[in-house]
Structure 1
Amino acid sequence: MNYLSFFNIKGILITLTSILCITFLCCENLYATKQDYDQFKSHLEFLSYTCTMKNEKNMYCKTSAIDPNFSLKKQSGGYLIQAFYTGSEKAKKERTAFLNFVNKCNTIAIATRYYIDKDTDLAMEVWFSGGYDKKAFANVLKQFNSDYIRIKTKYKEDFSYYLK
């Protein structure tokens, strides 16, 4: 065997080994995500939410309670809880005033951030690290819902004026 053939074979073996390792890690990550989503779903169904998977990394959860409906999706080594409210025509016409309302929301929110998306919808979201942990998820969800209730109560007129 000549010298170049040895290095070509070695390079091919290293490449194949790398591909197998990456494939294993990706599959393991998908399994962990599915396992997390199953646990999130069980937790939320216990709280009277109805949850459906929109795709393999995004679950939509709705409730008949006063708490907001939201999407739960894997993002940046954790999960993002996100809800959107459609901006009214008044919000589109009075963008500066709508932005002032959103700023007021952010000043009293504890964990949730509020912003206006490109369609003039109000987005509210909270991100948390890692996977499913019963106690941690319960705390994050409680704070997300508490922020929403606090804002909807304090800024009731603005909420109904700027949002459909």
Structure 2
Amino acid sequence: MLRRAWMFMLGGRKVISGSWPLYRICMLMLTISGAFQLITGKVPGSVSATNSPEWTDIVYMWMQFLGGAVTLASLTIGWRDISAAMGIERVGAVLVAFSSLIYVMSVVDYNSGPPTSSGVWLVIGVGTYCAYRVFEISDTFREAERKRREC
């Protein structure tokens, strides 16, 4: 069973612009974090401490969980249908980028200043990379469409 789990983590499609297992591991950790938040009904203290309505906490939890899970699934199934996998990855990356933005803005509001924890800066990095992937995937689709028209 451990071997199967390891193969799931390391198998599938590789993203050239990102560190291969790191991107997949980050998405797995986001999925696990989102699942625990949904199960317990608790978001990080900095998110719940904002003056936003309670429904925004629920949206945050679902965005984080679905963003990680959808991106992870796209990387796992990617070798079968690359176009579909990249489209699915783009949806997941948008969700991860926005959930990361929500978290970071909550921390800034909670701290009344910039984040000081390395964990928050890692979230900034993952969110920024996911935003980059959204544009990178869109460029790939545009390039493929341009080449298709030339043929």
- Give TM-score, length-normalised by structure 1: 0.35
Q: Which has the higher strand share?
A: 1
Which structure shows the bigger proportion of residues in helix conformation? 2
Bigger Rg, structure 1 or 2: 1
